[in-house]
Amino acid sequence: MVLIFHGFANCPEQFGVIAQTLYDQGYNVLLARLPHHGLSDRVTEAPLATKAEDIAASASQMVDIAAGLGDEITTVGFSGGGTIATWVAQNRPDVARVVAISPMFGVQAFPASLTRPVSTAVRDHPELVGLV
């Protein structure tokens, strides 16, 4: 079973050809649509309304659905979807593998040179940002 997450501000069709190829090879495939994404108005700013909590809940729900479609789940994602696929693989023991294609990792609110120190501080002291 392959669960695929599209990139930020895109839609499941981004992986339509790959999904069909995987299906033709015998895999069950689930293309997830992220909240506020994949709308008919491609110029919309709706994806900007996406909250991390909404994505986490949606991604977890997609894993629940995927679990009913196969014994072993592989998550795949591109860009922002790669980040989500990785998060799911870290937080859901029922995910066997992750394929992160150019995942969007980094702390955008800080200069690139501060990404590692800030992410390390958050990892080592989650209480500083209310994660505990």
DSSP annotation of 92? -
Structure confidence at residue 112 as a pLDDT band (50, 70, 90)? confident
Q: Is the pLDDT of residue 115 over 80?
A: no
The dihedral of CA 58, 63, 13, 99: what is its sign? positive
Phi–psi pair at 76, nearest 5 degrees: -130, 140
At 100 the pLDDT is 93
- Range scoring the smallest mean pLDDT among 4-8, 94-98, 112-116: 112-116
Parse the chain into domains and list their residue ranges.
2-101
- Range scoring the smallest mean pLDDT among 20-34, 62-76, 77-91, 98-112: 98-112
Q: CB-based contacts of 86: which residues, under 8 Å, 6+ apart?
A: 75, 77, 98, 100, 103
The 3-state DSSP class for residue 3 equals strand
Residue scoring higher pLDDT (7 or 81): 81
pLDDT digits (tens, 9 = 90+) for 25-70: 999 999 998 876 565 666 666 656 777 788 888 899 999 999 999 9
- Range scoring the smallest mean pLDDT among 67-71, 98-102, 116-120: 116-120
Q: How many CB atoms lie within 10 A of CB 21?
A: 12
Tokens of 110: 């800080």
Its CATH class, for the domain covering 2-101, is alpha beta
Q: What stretches of 52-106 adopt beta strand conformation (E)?
A: 73-78, 95-101
Give the alpha-carbon dihedral of 68, 16, 27, 35, to 10 degrees: -20
